[in-house]
Homo-oligomer: A and B are copies of this chain.
């Protein structure tokens, strides 16, 4: 007899109707009358439940009738058309084996739970509709990203997580060490002797794989990373986590325009893929999480992303009929409220802001001819704000060295990065996409803690 998953039954019911099949799954609800009952069964492969019908001819009718939410069962039976209007078919049970019982203190009883409560049982929350949908979309979006880049001849690079370098020159990094706080080795001057640490030097968790990705870009022409990155920032916002995943493509023989085209193509591809492959989940979000979600995503697929320079953006904000908490001034970084105004109210679609003042951007960004701004771009999207940050990189050795000197960055720490400008350097560009922010954008979920399986934030590393 064939074991089937519930997704298959829904997607190809014709193939299974009238056939005897076996299905495993977890009980969502049971309704029982004297001589028969219904089980809503979910096996995790599909958003909807399979209706199982059982009758008193079942050997263990009494046991099955007492099943509670959360129990694991194996059902053997025939898939038949359903007389009810609510579902197209149902599984008429010939036998039901109780595989795993569920203790009465099971926290996921059939009632609404707050997202805050569900974070305290992050090991169980993927069993709920909302989180099943979030984490299926997350999985599909991750695959869509790989598919997008692989189809375009990009090489996937695993850049290191443990690093001796600080890519941004200003990141707040976690230390990685095997030294003991109680018996810390010291040198003659009394300082901690990191030559005796595991790697023989100070190391931390990476804030970005970009610099390493650039080295591979200059070999393969087109590369991308997709891995975890870290910030030891004491941020308590709904958009910041200490550990998150980032995608960082890097393209050679390319400028900022190519970079933005790539970002726009990628965003549209991922949105399209998720809408095609998780229509049930996306409908659910649209109904219960964010009623404008599907309209907004459809709008993104159909429209060209906006483009404004930072200088234009400052003008727009200064003339905006809004009061902002933070002042708007050329030279200051845009705050979330500014970013959201630009994307949500002014443009009403995703918008690239380009050519930021060099003072507020990283050392590796390419200096524009005005000598004041750099070839940077941020992609702002309605509902989330900044989702992508990128730039054309400074490929001119003299300019790069000058900028590093201004910022006090040492040649010694970046010798290999500078080498790229000495040996067949090319124009090149890239960007970083915060994967969790993408998932928030795709699902309408408002808190980053609800789109990461086990979020890490200040004072929280449970599970």
Residues of A within 8 A of B (CB): 5, 7, 24-27, 43-45, 70-72, 74, 99-103, 106, 108, 121-124, 126-127, 131-132, 135-136, 138-140, 142-143, 146-147, 150, 153, 155-165, 174-179, 181-182, 184, 192, 198-201, 203, 205, 212, 215-216, 218-222, 227-228, 230, 232, 234, 242-243, 245, 252-253, 395, 416-417, 419-420, 422-427, 452-454, 456, 458-463
Contacts of A230 in B (CB 8 A): 161-162
Q: How far is the CA of A454 from the CA of B209 in the complex (A)?
A: 11
Smallest CB gap from A172: residue in B: B178
Q: How far is the CA of A103 from the CA of B27 in the complex (A)?
A: 68
Q: How far is the CA of A178 from the CA of B460 in the complex (A)?
A: 14
- State whether A232 touches B157 (Cβ < 8 A): no
Report which of B123, B161, B458 forms a contact with A420, defined as CB distance below 8 A: B123
A387–chain B nearest beta-carbon distance, Å: 18
Contacts of A422 in B (CB 8 A): 102-103, 106
Q: How far is the CA of A452 from the CA of B181 in the complex (A)?
A: 31
- State whether B219 touches A44 (Cβ < 8 A): yes
- State whether A461 touches B203 (Cβ < 8 A): yes
- State whether B177 touches A221 (Cβ < 8 A): no
Smallest CB gap from A155: residue in B: B139
Known: A44-B221, A71-B424, A138-B156. 5 other contacts (CB 8 A): A99-B427, A132-B219, A135-B157, A159-B454, A175-B175
- State whether B423 touches A70 (Cβ < 8 A): yes
- State whether B174 touches A174 (Cβ < 8 A): no
A289–chain B nearest beta-carbon distance, Å: 19
Q: With contacts A72-B424, A123-B419, A161-B228 known, is A458 near B216, CB below 8 A?
A: no
Smallest CB gap from A154: residue in B: B139
Contacts of A147 in B (CB 8 A): 143
Contacts of A24 in B (CB 8 A): 221, 252-253, 426
Q: With contacts A106-B423, A199-B456, A454-B160 known, is A221 near B5, CB below 8 A?
A: yes
Q: With contacts A44-B219, A201-B461 known, is A426 near B100, CB below 8 A?
A: yes
Contacts of A212 in B (CB 8 A): 123, 453-454, 463
Q: With contacts A24-B426, A177-B177 known, is A395 near B100, CB below 8 A?
A: yes
- State whether B179 touches A176 (Cβ < 8 A): no
- State whether B70 touches A102 (Cβ < 8 A): no
A-B contact pairs, 10 of them (CB 8 A): A45-B222, A135-B216, A136-B220, A143-B146, A160-B453, A175-B175, A199-B456, A199-B459, A200-B458, A216-B453
Q: How far is the CA of A124 from the CA of B219 in the complex (A)?
A: 8
Q: With contacts A5-B153, A139-B155 known, is A165 near B463, CB below 8 A?
A: yes
Q: With contacts A100-B395, A103-B423, A135-B157 known, is A162 near B461, CB below 8 A?
A: yes
- State whether B162 touches A242 (Cβ < 8 A): yes
Contacts of A460 in B (CB 8 A): 199-200
